[in-house]
Chain A
Amino acid sequence: MKTKTSFILFLGPALVIYTIFRMGPALASLAYSFTNWDGLSKTYEYVGLSNYIEAFRDELVLTSIKNTILYSVIVVLFQNGLGLFFAVLLDKQWIRGKNFFRVVLFLPAVLNTAAICFIWATILSPTIGVWGNVMTFFHLNSILPYDLLGSSDTALITVALVNIWQYIGYSMVIYLAGLQAVSKDYYEAASIDGCSQRKMFWKITLPLIAPSITINTILTTVGTLKEFEHVYSMTGGGPGNASHVMGTAIYQVAFGNTQRFGYGIAISTLLMLAVCIVTVLQRKIIGKAEMNSEN
């Protein structure tokens, strides 16, 4: 009896709040995705799979899926690549002012995303920004549009670059933690054997920091699949639908002028499935790679 009360006392409050405000709605969402509920009326009908079928014919949804994949690939590749690059650089013993560099590189990651997006929107603004001067200076006018965020070709990639800019430091710090755990003895032994710097990186460093690569890849992939804040604050999905990702498309469908909640929930269920599948797959694939490198 005594243990039972103690269980309720310790676990109860967390379970109740979590179930009511998180898992409950998440499970209920699945059911709503098969209805034509608009979120306002009391009645709704079951429409079977038609929301899901419509989603795969909807221009907005298809664009947003394509954009989400592109956004994810760009950010995962460059944020990880640059994060690893700077981690390796700042792990070198002869670099001075390591702490300063680390703090500066990490700083944007703790700042508010909306604030960061408005800062970049200001700098890139065709009317008051300074980006125009940079373009003229490097003679980029013939290659790039003047308004990077306002042109459908460049809007999404520009937002992705701001995302990378904000989180390079975060990836870097996770890699640094991995690098610092690698014993220096390996490098000494390898250099006695006449191993080149580049070979050491590929044959010693990379395999040994595999866990950091796993964590970073999963974090950035899941984070970018759920992307909403950067796109919403910098382009709002525009121009047209050119830079919509799934996160902003869901918001648009459910809370824009159409107010189709059932449909919005169906799209968000697709997103949730994508996140779960990608996480599981990545764990499997990278887990295998880690195993292989250990052999």
Chain B
Amino acid sequence: MKTKTTADKIISYSVLILMVALILYPLMAIFLSAFKTMSDFMGNPLGIPKTFTVDNFVYAWSKMHFGTYTANSVLVSSLTVALVCVLGAMAGYKLSFNFKGNKLIFTFFLAGMAVPVQSYIITLFQFMKKMKLLSSYPGLILVYTAINLPFAIFIFSSFFKTVPRELSEAAQVDGCSEMRTFAQILIPISKPTLATVVIVTMMNVWNDFFVQMIINMDQKKYTLPMGLLKFRSETSVNWTPLFASIILVALPVAIVFVLLQKQFIKGLTNGAVKG
């Protein structure tokens, strides 16, 4: 540890800087190109734009309906996150107690994490068609909720196991109902776990397109990644507006990540370590 030489330092920093360049260069190149005109980009795909234009963003936002996609993404992911948090916390809370059948129900939920979505999406598609839930917001939200519930239940129940029982018992002796104890005492102290569930679920739903490719055929209800796929398959040469729409899809998450990086990294690795 103590015998670090100058050579060590130079090599280490060079490797790190090379890696940073390898990550930031592609992102920056696309970011800058989104502000170029088409002819500027074709003549100069690498460099800094000669004239900055926001036309590409205007085009993507209104002509390619990215405004609608953004609204859909916000709607679907926030409602899913709310549902997963509420239902996941409630189920996780109950499962943190020892009762008959507790292990069985818990295993039933956990089993879902080993089953890939691909293996049941076709049957799910058929079922949703029968229930007239295809290409609908409730359908999307329910499917995403079902996908994200096992993880939420898993980490909520491990958290509630660490909370002393005396806390909720005392409240109930004071005449507080179980539901009120849960909502007003237990939920507020579970904030770090809640944050993890919010981040993991939000990311999963915001970034998904596989599930939607199957169960959402209505372009008016597409979320951002689906809009991006549609744009890309429709126009193969309209590069600069495509870059603008890539930015519209990626930038919100990137900004939230940079602002809340500590919680993000903790949330996602919590998810990994416990999931």
Instruction: Tell me the A residues contacting B by CB distance below 8 Å.
Output: 6-7, 9-11, 13-15, 17-18, 20-26, 28-29, 32, 39, 86, 89-90, 92-95, 99, 101-116, 118-120, 122-123, 128-130, 165, 168, 170, 173-174, 177, 187-188, 191, 197, 215, 219, 222, 225-226, 228-229, 232-233, 246-247, 250-251, 254-255, 261, 264-265, 268-269, 271-272, 275-276, 279
Question: Which chain A positions have C-beta within 8 A of B123?
Answer: 25-26, 28-29, 32, 265
Instruction: Evaluate contact between A11 and B122: CB separation under 8 angstroms.
Output: no
Please indicate the chain B residues that have their CB under 8 angstroms from the CB of A105 in the complex.
19-20, 23
User: By the criterion CB–CB under 8 Å, are A173 and B265 in contact?
Assistant: yes
Chain B residues with a Cβ under 8 A of chain A:
1-4, 9, 12-13, 15-16, 19-20, 22-24, 26-27, 29-30, 41-42, 45-46, 87-88, 90-91, 93-95, 105, 108-109, 111-112, 114-127, 142-143, 145-147, 149-150, 153, 178-179, 182, 203, 206-207, 209-210, 213-214, 224-225, 228-229, 232, 239, 242-243, 246, 249-250, 253-254, 257-258, 261, 264-265, 268-269, 272-273
Query: With the chains together, A115 CA to B207 CA distance in Å?
Result: 9
Q: Given A118-B242, A264-B122, list of 4 further CB < 8 A pairs? A: A102-B265, A177-B269, A228-B210, A254-B122
A-B contact pairs, 17 of them (CB 8 A): A13-B87, A15-B105, A22-B147, A26-B112, A26-B123, A107-B254, A112-B225, A114-B249, A118-B232, A119-B246, A128-B42, A191-B2, A254-B122, A255-B214, A268-B118, A268-B119, A279-B114
Closest A residue, CB atoms, query B4: A94
Q: Determine if B250 and A112 form an interchain contact, defined as CB atoms under 8 angstroms apart.
A: yes
Query: Of A11, A89, A170, A279, which contacts B16 at CB under 8 A?
Result: A89
Identify the 4 closest CB pairs spanning chains A and B, nearest first. Answer: A21-B146, A14-B91, A26-B120, A268-B119
Assembled-state Cα–Cα distance A7/B90 (Å): 10
Q: Which residues does chain A contribute within 8 Å of B19, judged by CB atoms? A: 86, 101, 105, 168
Q: Are A261 and B273 in contact (CB under 8 A)?
A: no
A17 to B4, CA, bound (A): 57
Residue ID in chain B nearest A169 by CB atoms: B23
Among B149, B225, B243, B253, which residue has its beta carbon within 8 angstroms of that of A17?
Answer: B149
Number of A-B contacts (CB under 8 A): 239
Tell me the complex Cα distance, A253–B57, Å: 37
Q: Once the chains bind, are A25 and B124 in contact (CB under 8 Å)?
A: yes
Also in contact, A110 and B253, with CB within 8 A (given A6-B178, A10-B93, A119-B30): yes
Q: Which residues of chain B come closer than 8 Å to A276, judged between CB atoms? A: 114
Chain B residues near A113: list those with CB within 8 A.
207, 209, 225
Decide if A108 touches B142 in the complex (CB within 8 Å).
Answer: no
Within 8 Å CB of A118, what residues of B?
228, 232, 242, 246
Secondary structure dominating the interface of B? helix
Chain B residue nearest in CB terms to A253: B122
Distance to closest chain B CB from A247 (angstroms) = 5
CB nearest neighbor in B for A216: B272
Give the docked Cα–Cα distance between A116 and B27 (Å): 8
Q: Judging by beta carbons under 8 Å apart, are B142 and A111 in contact? A: no
Shortest Cβ gap from A188 to chain B (Å): 8
Instruction: Tell me the complex Cα distance, A29–B120, Å.
Output: 6
Indicate which residue in A17, A107, A123, A215 contacts B23 across the interface (CB closer than 8 Å).
Answer: A107
A223 CA / B112 CA spacing, docked (Å):
15
Report whether B127 and A25 are in contact in the complex, using a CB–CB cutoff of 8 Å: yes
CB distance from B166 to the nearest CB of A (A): 19
Query: Chain B residues near A215 (CB, 8 Å)?
Result: 272-273
Bound-complex Cα distance A114 to B253 (A): 14
Query: Beyond A23-B108, A112-B207, is A191–B24 a contact (Cβ under 8 Å)?
Result: no
With both chains docked as a complex, state the minimum distance between the C-beta of B223 and any C-beta of chain A, in angstroms. Answer: 10
B149 near A14: Cβ-Cβ < 8 Å: yes
Q: Which of A28, A89, A130, A191 sits near B15, CB closer than 8 Å? A: A89
B64 CB, min distance to chain A CBs, angstroms: 14
For B24, the closest partner residue in chain A by CB is A104
The reply to whether A29 and B257 form a contact with Cβ atoms under 8 Å apart is: no
Cβ A272 vs Cβ B119 within 8 A? yes
Report A-chain residues with C-beta under 8 Å of the C-beta of B121: 25, 268
Cα distance A75–B30 in the bound complex, in angstroms: 25
